[in-house]
């Protein structure tokens, strides 16, 4: 919300030397966030001038310029070249003299042009930042003004004002107006508040038919309960908007459109009540409020024909919809320059309905922004009357007695609160007088009965519904600086959970290994979900989004790999071909349809109850944390004397081992098949007997579809399953000082025998003396029979109480050979 200082000063007493910083500081002290400052980017000298002489001079290019002599209050007139033709001798105009800077910035200087030295510029409304009009210069006669020659035009046109901008949270919609901000400034500084509503002369209206037909309210909330109309006849809609109003609207971020529309916008920012103006001649009969009928359409002011939803609130006349209530008016009843009679509407609408309609039709507006936060129902009549005043004063209209007044006067529920409640909740000692006076300053009615308070919140504060919200207001208005900054002491035995520690260790370990962490969105298409079923090769149903941001990606992912593939595609297309990325994220695994059941959620404010909440929670999809990684390109780039080393499945398995090491579990690898992975280059990752992940190289058709290199290594691990397997007690092996005995073991087995299975048998057969075993070679070729392969393992033996002899190591190795022979028919390679 932008707040021009002069406009603010009409509703609250500001210091004579008020500054933007002072106003910002005051509003921050009562809970608003400082955003920015805004000012008209115009510096002088800019003065009022009178045209003394205008000589048209045709040019060779076909253009005609005017060589003018302009009196600017100096001893001699100034010669100025002007290309506009909507003025004549005697007109009062705005003259920007050399040294002035117009918005842009556009500095003004004396310069030679068209054979003359132009000693300044006669300005248009757009050049001054007063609107979009640029067909001619700005004449004071068009504004109904007769200023003095030489007078400062910046102050005269209201261009010397500035505005502070604050962030207004959704629960404080009343502050989206000068009235609301002035009241908050008064709370912060103790300055006198002058309610602008009190300055509006009361005016009645009747005889205009208004019907509210919402017999089946949605979520138990009636669409509208306040609807005020007023009529002004005989206006001149083509008259220009006064410069002071254009300047103020510009400062709050609204462009000038036409005088009647500008007046409705001005009143909205002044009082917080959105208004809408109709060309009365185009309205058939009276107005009504109802829900849209199925299949009904409406052409809105932006000339877009919109298909309405049955939940949309619409304003209608006898011929059908004329507006999308609280969001945007209809084109059929739009005010035009020829409009003579205007119907003003000031209404109140259901917050939820307006919010949903604005989002459904992608039509956010200043009006919907206020309605969805809550508008004071008692300000509607004053706002309509204020618009009538301005139309009469500025547009030459005459107020008519035709109108209607339907105002929601339902009293606000009384909130019971103990006067000591703020002290109990905030931890600051507040006196009884402070609490009571603060609540009354907010506009609440407070009845005191000993310790007990009966508080009726003001109509402009729909967010004040219970004692805790009242306590928050006491703390805010009395001052947050009263609340001490005390760091709470954490109770012993707390801290990060096992899962949180494991997740952090895994992320840190992968980053330390040189992988780059990425963060991606969880949305996928149906085709992508089918191509990447996740760790479970069988796949399953995906969670379907009811209101997807992108209809082409309306499923939640079962696997973290598709997003990494998209990251790789984007980077490779930009020349970054060597990639190693990872992500820790949730995946979504829905329960079977048979387990979902049907759970009815109560409407309105009724609490659903513990059983309903448990049923809803049980129907939510499982959302385990997965860690996924993708590697493509070269692990080691080509260098002088060094060949490039590409990423492959071995690197994916190394990533998996890093995850297992960081989590504190022992990982085993087994050959498998997976619909996303290359046959023969896919592995299951197990902790004990539980499959916790997969690793391998993506199918060529998947890499081709993503325009990636043929070899893309990936790994995906269910981190929740890994954490569940972390042992409660950690076994720490003693440090042994005796030397180790190392041997290599080459076994010949069939090509279909997994190397991992042979490694497990070797470890089991070698006995307790085996300290370490690792596969170092898989050879197929000369010297090995067709259909067989030679697997070479590096073995390290060590005893904890003595130095091993070579014979003892050989006996242990022979045990491994014997066990492998029994299990797989393995033989020693010669």
User: pLDDT tens digits, residue range 267-290?
Assistant: 999 999 999 999 999 999 999 999
**By mean pLDDT, which of 160-174, 218-232, 317-331 is the weakest?**
218-232
Whether the pLDDT of residue 662 is over 90: the answer is: yes
| Mean pLDDT value across residues 367-388 | 93
CA dist 382 and 267 (Å) reads 10
Q: Mean pLDDT of all residues in the chain? A: 89
For residues 419 and 454, the answer to whether their CB atoms sit within 8 Å is no
Whether the pLDDT of residue 122 is over 50: the answer is: yes
pLDDT class of 155 with cuts at 50, 70, 90: confident
Count of CB atoms situated within 10 Å of the CB of 746: 17
Element (H, E) at 230: strand 224-233
Whether the pLDDT of residue 320 is over 50: the answer is: yes
CA dist 347 and 322 (Å) reads 15
Q: What is the DSSP letter of 174?
A: G
For residues 126 and 114, the answer to whether their CB atoms sit within 8 Å is no
CA dist 247 and 252 (Å) reads 9
Model pLDDT for residues 469-519, shown as the tens digit of each residue: 999 999 999 988 899 888 878 777 777 888 899 999 999 999 999 999 999
**By mean pLDDT, which of 192-201, 337-346, 489-498 is the weakest?**
489-498
Given this model, what pLDDT does residue 566 score? 94
Given this model, what pLDDT does residue 604 score? 58
Given this model, what pLDDT does residue 132 score? 65
pLDDT class of 732 with cuts at 50, 70, 90: confident
Q: Return the percentage of the chain with pLDDT > 70, whole number.
A: 96
**By mean pLDDT, which of 77-81, 243-247, 704-708, 820-824 is the weakest?**
243-247
Whether the pLDDT of residue 595 is over 60: the answer is: no
CA dist 219 and 353 (Å) reads 10
pLDDT class of 605 with cuts at 50, 70, 90: low
- Give this prediction's pTM: 0.66
Task: List own/partner pairs for 84-90 with CB under 8 A and 24 or more apart.
Answer: 84/122, 84/124, 84/135, 84/136, 84/137, 85/136, 86/135, 86/136, 86/137, 86/139, 87/51, 87/54, 87/122, 87/136, 87/137, 87/139, 88/51, 88/54, 89/51, 89/52, 89/53, 89/54, 90/50, 90/51
Tokens describing residue 588: 């979504």
Q: Is 535 exposed, middle or buried (0-12, 13-18, 19+ CB in 10 A)?
A: buried
pLDDT class of 126 with cuts at 50, 70, 90: confident
pLDDT class of 735 with cuts at 50, 70, 90: confident
End-to-end C-alpha distance for the chain, whole angstroms: 85
Model pLDDT for residues 395-408, shown as the tens digit of each residue: 999 999 999 999 88
Q: Is it true that the peptide bond before 494 is cis, omega within 30 degrees of 0? A: no
User: Phi and psi (nearest 5°) for 807?
Assistant: -65, -40
| Max intra-chain CA distance, the chain | 120
| Mean pLDDT value across residues 696-725 | 93
Q: Is it true that the peptide bond before 707 is cis, omega within 30 degrees of 0? A: no
Model pLDDT for residues 609-626, shown as the tens digit of each residue: 888 888 878 778 889 999
Whether the pLDDT of residue 350 is over 50: the answer is: yes
Given this model, what pLDDT does residue 602 score? 66
Most confident of 73-77, 654-658, 735-739: 654-658
Strands 111-113 and 101-102, sheet pairing: unpaired
**By mean pLDDT, which of 456-470, 588-602, 643-657 is the weakest?**
588-602
Given this model, what pLDDT does residue 134 score? 62
CA dist 259 and 335 (Å) reads 10
Nearest to 471 by CA among 412, 432, 424: 424
| Mean pLDDT value across residues 803-829 | 92
Q: Return the percentage of the chain with pLDDT > 90, whole number.
A: 57
Given this model, what pLDDT does residue 594 score? 38
**By mean pLDDT, which of 110-119, 131-140, 362-371, 529-538 is the weakest?**
131-140
Most confident of 518-522, 588-592, 733-737: 518-522
Model pLDDT for residues 215-229, shown as the tens digit of each residue: 555 555 667 888 999
CA dist 649 and 647 (Å) reads 7
CA dist 265 and 9 (Å) reads 19
Whether the pLDDT of residue 596 is over 60: the answer is: no
For residues 689 and 665, the answer to whether their CB atoms sit within 8 Å is no
| Mean pLDDT value across residues 80-93 | 90
Model pLDDT for residues 675-700, shown as the tens digit of each residue: 999 988 899 999 988 999 999 999 99
Nearest to 773 by CA among 797, 749, 757, 751: 797
């Amino acid at each position: 919300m932008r707040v021009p200082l002069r406009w603010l000063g009409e509703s609250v007493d500001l210091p004579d030397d008020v500054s933007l910083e002072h106003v910002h500081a005051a509003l921050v002290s009562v809970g608003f966030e400082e955003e920015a400052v805004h000012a008209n980017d115009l510096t002088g000298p800019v003065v009022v001038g009178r045209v003394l002489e205008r000589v048209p001079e045709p040019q060779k290019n076909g253009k005609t310029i005017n060589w003018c002599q302009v009196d600017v209050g100096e001893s001699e007139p100034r010669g100025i070249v002007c290309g506009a033709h909507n003025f004549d001798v005697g007109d009062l105009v705005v003259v920007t003299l050399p040294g002035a800077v117009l918005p842009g910035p556009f500095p003004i200087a004396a310069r030679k042009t068209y054979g003359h030295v132009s000693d300044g510029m006669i300005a248009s409304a757009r050049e001054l930042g007063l609107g979009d009009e640029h067909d001619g210069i700005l004449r004071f006669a068009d504004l109904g003004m007769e200023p003095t020659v030489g007078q400062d035009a910046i102050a005269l046109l209201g261009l010397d004002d500035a505005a502070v901008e604050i962030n207004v949270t959704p629960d404080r919609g009343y502050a989206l107006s000068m009235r609301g901000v002035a009241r908050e400034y008064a709370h912060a500084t103790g300055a006198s508040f002058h309610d602008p509503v009190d300055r509006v002369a009361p005016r009645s209206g009747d005889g205009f038919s208004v019907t509210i037909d919402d017999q089946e309210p949605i979520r138990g909330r009636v669409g509208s309960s306040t609807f005020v109309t007023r009529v002004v006849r005989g206006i001149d809609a083509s008259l220009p908007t006064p410069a002071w109003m254009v300047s103020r609207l510009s400062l709050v971020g609204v462009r000038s459109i036409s005088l009647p529309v500008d007046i409705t916008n001005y009143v909205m920012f002044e009082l917080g009540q959105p208004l809408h103006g109709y060309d009365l001649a185009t309205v058939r009969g009276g107005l009504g409020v109802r829900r849209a009928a199925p299949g009904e359409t409406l052409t809105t002011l932006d000339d877009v024909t919109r298909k309405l939803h049955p939940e949309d609130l619409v304003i209608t006349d006898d011929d059908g919809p004329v507006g999308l209530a609280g969001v945007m008016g209809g084109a059929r009843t739009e005010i035009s320059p020829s409009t003579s009679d205007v119907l003003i509407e000031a209404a109140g609408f259901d917050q939820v309905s307006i919010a949903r309609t604005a989002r459904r039709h992608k039509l956010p507006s200043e009006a919907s922004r206020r309605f969805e936060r809550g508008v004071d129902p008692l300000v509607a009549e004053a706002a309509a009357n204020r618009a009538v005043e301005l139309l009469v004063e500025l547009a030459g209209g005459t107020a008519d007695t035709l109108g209607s007044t339907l105002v929601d006067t339902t009293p606000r529920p009384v909130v019971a609160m103990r006067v000591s409640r703020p002290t109990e909740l905030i931890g600051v000692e507040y006196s009884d007088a402070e609490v009571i006076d603060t609540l009354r300053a907010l506009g609440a009615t407070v009845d005191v009965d000993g310790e007990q308070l009966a508080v009726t919140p003001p109509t402009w504060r729909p967010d004040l519904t219970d004692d805790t919200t009242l306590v928050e207001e006491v703390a805010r208005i009395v001052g947050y600086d009263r609340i001490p900054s005390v760091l709470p002491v954490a109770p012993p035995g707390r801290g990060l959970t096992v899962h949180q520690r494991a997740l952090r260790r895994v992320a840190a370990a992968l980053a330390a290994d040189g992988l780059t962490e990425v963060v991606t969105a969880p949305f996928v298409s149906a085709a992508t979900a089918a191509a990447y079923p996740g760790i479970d090769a069988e796949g399953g149903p995906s969670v379907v989004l009811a209101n997807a941001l992108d209809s082409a990606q309306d499923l939640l992912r079962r696997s973290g790999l598709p997003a990494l593939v998209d990251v790789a595609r984007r980077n490779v297309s930009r020349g970054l071909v060597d990639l190693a990325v990872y992500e820790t994220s949730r995946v979504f695994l829905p329960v079977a349809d048979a387990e979902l059941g049907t759970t009815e959620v109560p409407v309105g404010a009724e609490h659903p109850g513990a059983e309903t909440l448990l049923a809803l929670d049980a129907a939510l999809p499982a959302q385990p944390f997965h860690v996924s990684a993708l590697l493509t390109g070269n692990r080691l780039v080509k260098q002088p004397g060094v060949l490039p080393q590409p990423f492959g499945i071995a690197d994916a398995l190394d990533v998996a081992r890093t995850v297992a090491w960081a989590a504190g579990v022992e990982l085993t690898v087994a050959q498998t098949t997976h619909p996303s992975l290359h046959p023969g280059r896919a592995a299951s990752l197990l902790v004990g007997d539980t499959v916790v992940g997969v690793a391998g190289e993506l199918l060529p058709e998947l890499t081709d579809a993503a325009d990636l290199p043929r070899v893309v290594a990936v790994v995906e691990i269910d981190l929740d399953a890994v954490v569940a397997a972390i042992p409660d007690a950690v076994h720490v092996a003693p440090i042994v000082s005796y030397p180790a005995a190392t041997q290599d073991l080459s076994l010949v087995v069939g090509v279909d025998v997994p190397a991992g299975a042979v490694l497990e048998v070797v470890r089991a057969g070698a006995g307790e003396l085996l300290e370490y075993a690792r596969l170092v070679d898989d050879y197929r070729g000369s010297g090995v029979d067709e259909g067989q392969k030679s697997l070479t393992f590096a073995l390290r033996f060590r005893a904890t109480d003595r130095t091993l002899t070579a014979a003892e190591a050989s006996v242990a190795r022979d045990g491994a050979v014997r066990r492998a022979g029994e299990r797989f028919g393995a033989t020693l390679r010669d």
